[in-house]
Amino acid sequence: MLTGRSRQHMLTLMTRSTTDLVGDLDSTDPAVGLRAVAALGRLLGRLEDLHVRHAREQGWSWQEIAEALGVTKQTVHRKHARR
């Protein structure tokens, strides 16, 4: 198992809705496409939160996380330190 039971459940729930959104990205209706983009943005945010939390639990430094995400240490710390 790659993730803990509670995390796996969360990712499974997200994956189901993600599959539905992928088809909406090709829509010629801007309302459908834009809703899909917004939903995927929220999903990416949740996934980032999950993986940053997991990295911190495993002892990663803010610098290591920042390098993996391609951002500065200050950016990742400001965004995730409160959570």
pLDDT tens-digit profile, the chain (83 residues): 455 555 555 555 555 567 777 888 888 899 999 999 999 899 999 999 999 999 999 999 999 999 999 999 999 999 999 87
What is the C-alpha to C-alpha distance for residues 60 and 73, in angstroms, rounded to an integer?
Answer: 12
Q: pTM of whole model > 0.75? A: no
pLDDT on residue 54? 97
pLDDT on residue 4? 56
Q: Which domain holds residue 64?
A: 5-80
User: Which tokens go with 71?
Assistant: 């951002």
Total tally of structural domains belonging to the chain: 1
Q: Which of 38, 53, 61, 62 is nearest to 7 (CA)?
A: 53
Burial class (CB in 10 A: 0-12, 13-18, 19+), 47: middle
- SS3 of 2, please? coil
What is the C-alpha to C-alpha distance for residues 83 and 76, in angstroms, rounded to an integer?
Answer: 11
pLDDT on residue 1? 43
